[in-house]
Structure 1
Amino acid sequence: MSRDKSSARSVVAVLLVLAMSLLCAASTRAQSPAANAQVIEIKLADLNDDNPLINYRKAVLELAMRASGRPFSIKGCQVANVATSDQRYVQLVQAGQYCNLIATSAGSGMTRTLEAIPFPIYLGGGGYRVLLANRESLERARTIRTLDDLRTFTIGSGIGWVDTSIMQANQLKVAQSNYLNLFDMLKAGRFDFYNRSIFEATSELETYDPTHQLAIVPDLVLYYPTDLFFYTSPGRDDIRDALLDGLKKIHRNAALLDLIQKHGSTRQVRQAMRGTRPRVIELQNDRLTPIERQAIETYKMDWFK
């Protein structure tokens, strides 16, 4: 009888310990920030869902937000299905109702009213530029060795682009027009070269030069410190803090480098640049904010290695 009572007391004790453990676990879950955290709703300004460069931005965003450990959702801006400029998207992000995040070039005066997430999503690769040329200017490009040599030519660039102001500040001659017109103007010899990102040039030639009137100037790269950054709506500290935390984590664990090496918009560029030693002409860029400049210096890689 004594043994039966002792066994019963032991069972009760075990059940009490188990119950207390379950209550403690439930309490811990209830107090956990992750359990109580609201879902961060990200409304990304995207110009073209079929554009591989836009897809890269989305891939970086999703990878970083997963790494942050915060619950989140990502969708495109709910705006009318019409052509929307970067400037218009910046206005929408500033308002924060339909859009609350955009990826665009650092140093733009348009983004001064937004909250910068200080991390270059191409690890400095956005600062490397190539020149598109027509048949005549392609031959004459062989003589270019220095910035002074480049100043004897005229370069096409977009109206209001950060790149345009950077080149003008470096005393380069610039012909301005809208994005698509510049391809036709180069074919017509209205200027000598069209300054493009290393991630844009090849696909643009395939799309806008099917008759192969243009080509990339070989073994020549322009460089000025810049890149693409994410910018969010004022007051959205939740987006800023979670995204920056995630970006730093995928930089430390090399997940971002792995994405660069595998993503369709960056893989071939990375492979093409590794091991090459092109003529590199460096330009100064005084358009960056101190935060943007520091971020580019902190998170960058050598694209030629």
Structure 2
Amino acid sequence: MRFCYFLLMLALFAPGPKASAEQSLTYPRPARQDSTIIDYPQALLKGALSAAGLPYKLQASSESLVQSRALKQLEDDQGIDVVWTMTSIEREKNLLPVRIPIYKGLYGWRLLLIKPQSQSLLEEVSDLSGLARLPLLQGRGWPDTHVLLANGLRVYGTPHIEGLFDMLQHDRGVAFPRSVLEIWREQDYYQHDLVVEKHLVLYYPTAMYFFFRKSDQKLATGVTSGLLRMQESGEFDRLFTLYHQHAVDKAGLAQRKVLSLWNPLLPQATPLEQERFWYRP
């Protein structure tokens, strides 16, 4: 009898399992060790998880991964739980997108990274047919590459981003189109070897989303809810401005010649009609 009473007391007063114990959410470690590449999406994702009351902590994968491998590991549940990347019909078929563009579509606004002596060549370009005469560089397997090729442009590349900068420096291409949000830090890194072309900007509609596995519907729904709450509270715009306004201002998009491209990879479900999701120069 005493023994039963003792067991009852243990059951009543023993600490129970933590209902809100944090789980790990692993994202792919980028090939380039540049914190600016992951600081903003991490801050946004952490904010969304917190706003939705989801007890997750973010951690990088043990090794750096190129984009194609990261997406495959996410789909196959091999150590990657979330990837932020540009959408496409194929990616939305294989994975579960949170259809809120985390960069407000600015990855579809592309400036050209060039060698200084190439500026005179680009000043003669006024339309896509003129640009098509010049070889461009882009990552092999990237959605951007398919967009450029679909618009009749000449494209060469490699899966590894560092190799693309090497190709540009060794004249294996005239220009490397880069988002207005990433080109400035890359130009700063290369100093006088590479510069940002002065008067053109390529534009095609696209979105960069958080992607999850198809089986993680509850997690994706929570992140969607969290991001919408951040938009309503102004926290989304605060983070975007903090991390990106300087680059946007520096680009001077309204003063550039816009070359508009068709994006054949853009899924029909892309919320282009939701003005609050997009940056408009």
In the superposition, relative to structure 1, how do residues 188 and 97 fare at CA in structure 2: closer, same or farther (>3 Å)? closer
Output the CA distance in 2 between the equivalents of 1:223 and 1:189.
24
CA distance in 1, matches of 2:45, 2:196: 30
Matched residue, 2:48: 64
RMSD value over aligned CA atoms? 2.3
For residues 266-277 of structure 1, what are the structure 2 equivalents within 5 Å? 266-273=244-251, 276-277=254-255
Q: Which of 266, 275, 280 does residue 288 from structure 1 map onto?
A: 266
Match of 1:220 among 200, 220, 223: 200
SS in 2 for 1:45: strand
- Larger Rg computed on CA atoms: 1
Residue of 229, 232, 237 corresponding to 2:209:
229
1:275/1:286 Cα in 2 relative to 1: closer, same or farther (>3 Å)?
A: closer
* Residue 71 of structure 2: aligned partner: 90
Segments of structure 2 that go 5 or more residues without pairing to the other structure are 1-17
Structure-2 separation of matches of 1:180 and 1:122: 23
CA 1:275 to 1:206, structure 2 compared with 1: closer, same or farther past 3 Å? Answer: closer
- Aligned-residue offset at 1:267: 2.9
CA shift, 1:268, in A, is 1.2
CA shift digits 1:164-195 (9 cap, x unpaired): 11000000011122321221222222221111
Which amino acid is the alignment partner of residue 207 of structure 2? D
Alignment of 1:1-305 (within 5 A): 41=23, 43-48=25-30, 50-68=34-52, 70-77=53-60, 79=61, 81-96=62-77, 98-107=79-88, 109-110=90-91, 112-177=93-158, 178-207=160-189, 209-210=190-191, 212-263=192-243, 266-273=244-251, 276-291=254-269, 293=270, 295-298=271-274, 299-304=276-281
Structure 2 CA distance for aligned equivalents of residues 136 and 44 of structure 1:
43
User: How far 1:296 moved relative to its partner?
Assistant: 4.1
What percent of counterpart residues are identical? Answer: 23
Determine helix, strand or coil for the equivalent of 2:28: coil
Given the superposition, is the C-alpha separation of residues 87 and 189 from structure 1 closer, same or farther in structure 2, using an over 3 Å criterion?
A: closer
Higher helix share: 1
C-alpha deviation, 1:249, in angstroms: 1.9
Contact 2:41 2:84 in 1 (8 A): yes
- How many residue pairs get aligned? The number is 260
Instruction: Tell me which moved more, 166-175 or 43-52.
Output: 43-52
TM-score normalized by the length of structure 2: 0.84
**DSSP-derived class of the 2:258 partner:** strand
Q: Is the 8 A contact 2:24 2:58 kept in 1?
A: yes
- Matched residue of 2:137: which SS? strand
Shift in CA distance, 58/171, structure 1 to aligned 2, threshold 3 Å: same
* CA distances 1:239-267 after superposition (whole Å, capped 9, x unpaired): 1111011112222332211111112xx13
Query: Letter of the aligned partner of 1:56 in structure 2?
Result: Y
Listed as ranges, the gaps of 5+ residues in structure 1 are: 1-35
Supply the AA of the counterpart residue of 2:58: K
